[in-house]
Structure 1
Amino acid sequence: MQLKVKKADGSIEQYLHTKVIGTFSNALALIEEPNVFAAEQFADAITFYLYRRRGVFTVSTDEIHLMAQAVLSATGYENAARALNEHRLNRRMKRGRIEVVDGYEADSGNEPAGLCRWNKTRIVENLVGKDKIDRNMARAIASSVEQKVLNLGMTRIRRSLIAELVAADTEAFLIVSKQLQFAV
């Protein structure tokens, strides 16, 4: 049985244990106490629990987040739990503020030609559908692009810039993937 994760945007993905490890690693790094061993142990506990639940094959990102907070708090890392929650809320607020524009109309006095909300899932779907890239790699590329977009701190970003970021990250990920295949 492969566990599925329901994302905030309603999309469904495979559960990835490594993402949970990353969540704990990031939480511990936020409080300047990086500990990969602890992150792996905490993630193992959550993964074990999730796979032992009978008849439940889908879990939401909110549930995983709450479990991570509970594990951190129960193991003496209350400040990491708070930092993780604050980090998540800040990212959610930043995502909510970002608007993607197609460009600007020449006659409109700086009004955007087309406007929509930021949605990382669109990048994933385009990479999978149009470029035939593996879904897990597409998710990694989209996450990398999203991090760059969030780091820009802009509330409006051109679709053409996003396309350039996607193209550059896709190329980089494919090169690394190819190198890893030859290394094995």
Structure 2
Amino acid sequence: MQIRVIKADGQIEPYLHTKVLGTFHNALALVGDATLFAAEQMAEAVTYYLYRQKPNDAITADEIHLMIESVLSATGFAHAAEALNRHRLMRRLKRRRIEVLGDITDDAQAVAWNKSHLAASLVRKHAIDALTARAVAASVEEKVLAMNVARLRKSLLRQLILNDLESFLDARRQLETSAV
């Protein structure tokens, strides 16, 4: 019994309780209420509700986000819900602002940042599974957003991708060898 999450870009991935827990914890941390116990309790409530209401169904990431905001507001953390919403909107604005440029010798047009295209490219070029590709793409996106740049050269993007891909694959190999 697995709930599927429809991401904003249309991609589908399995529901992960840990992502909901992380979102609650981050929302509380944004306003200085970083209590892991409260985040765990709220995440448990959302996960329980989802598995009771939609055990074999799909739900959008936006619906999950609205549930998280509702739970925060209903439990006395409305300020954390507002901070989470502001944070989400700022990330969306930052993403839309980023252009990926060709290398200096390249005459290609700038293209808008797109994490989904990056993940699809990783699957094609490096023959990795879609979930690992999305994790690598998300990790790269975090670095790009933290750099706070509006224009990003492909050469720098390639280096970020290769670094994170290598780290993820090394971690996977270590887990596989320790499990044997």
TM-score with structure 2 setting the length: 0.90
Alignment CA distance shift 1:93-1:171 (3 Å): same
> In structure 2, what is the equivalent of residue 71 of structure 1?
71
- Match of 1:171, as an amino acid? E
Distance in 1, matches of 2:99 and 2:147, equals: 13
Is residue 90 from structure 1 mapped to residue 85 from structure 2 by the alignment?
no
Alignment map for 1:116-127 (pairs within 5 Å): 116-127=111-122
3-state SS, counterpart of residue 130 of structure 1: helix
- Segments ≥4 residues shifted beyond 4 Å: none
Q: In percent, how many aligned pairs have the same letter? A: 52
Is residue 166 from structure 1 mapped to residue 154 from structure 2 by the alignment?
no
Alignment CA distance shift 1:142-1:54 (3 Å): closer
Distance in 2, matches of 1:177 and 1:162, equals: 22
Structure 2 segments unaligned to the other structure (5+ residues): none
3-state SS, counterpart of residue 157 of structure 1: strand
Alignment CA distance shift 1:157-1:29 (3 Å): same
Distance in 1, matches of 2:66 and 2:4, equals: 17
3-state SS, counterpart of residue 173 of structure 1: helix
Query: Number of residue pairs matched?
Result: 179
Give per-residue Cα distances to partners, 1:96-122, cap 9 Å, x unaligned: 11111113468xxxxx63221101111
Distance in 2, matches of 1:151 and 1:79, equals: 24
Alignment CA distance shift 1:54-1:140 (3 Å): closer
- Match of 1:163, as an amino acid? R
Judge conservation of contact 2:28–2:35 (CA < 8 Å) in 1.
yes
Distance in 2, matches of 1:96 and 1:129, equals: 24
Distance in 1, matches of 2:44 and 2:55, equals: 20
3-state SS, counterpart of residue 91 of structure 1: helix
Distance in 2, matches of 1:100 and 1:178, equals: 31
TM-score with structure 1 setting the length: 0.88
In the TM superposition, residue 137 of structure 1 has moved relative to its aligned partner by 2.2
In the TM superposition, residue 130 of structure 1 has moved relative to its aligned partner by 2.4
In the TM superposition, residue 136 of structure 1 has moved relative to its aligned partner by 2.4
Distance in 2, matches of 1:40 and 1:55, equals: 20
> In structure 2, what is the equivalent of residue 136 of structure 1?
131
In the TM superposition, residue 4 of structure 1 has moved relative to its aligned partner by 1.3
Is residue 20 from structure 1 mapped to residue 47 from structure 2 by the alignment?
no
> In structure 2, what is the equivalent of residue 109 of structure 1?
none
Q: 2:110 aligns with which of 97, 110, 115?
A: 115
In the TM superposition, residue 128 of structure 1 has moved relative to its aligned partner by 2.1
Distance in 2, matches of 1:27 and 1:54, equals: 25
- Match of 1:125, as an amino acid? A
Is residue 47 from structure 1 mapped to residue 33 from structure 2 by the alignment?
no
CA RMSD of aligned residues (A): 1.9
3-state SS, counterpart of residue 59 of structure 1: strand
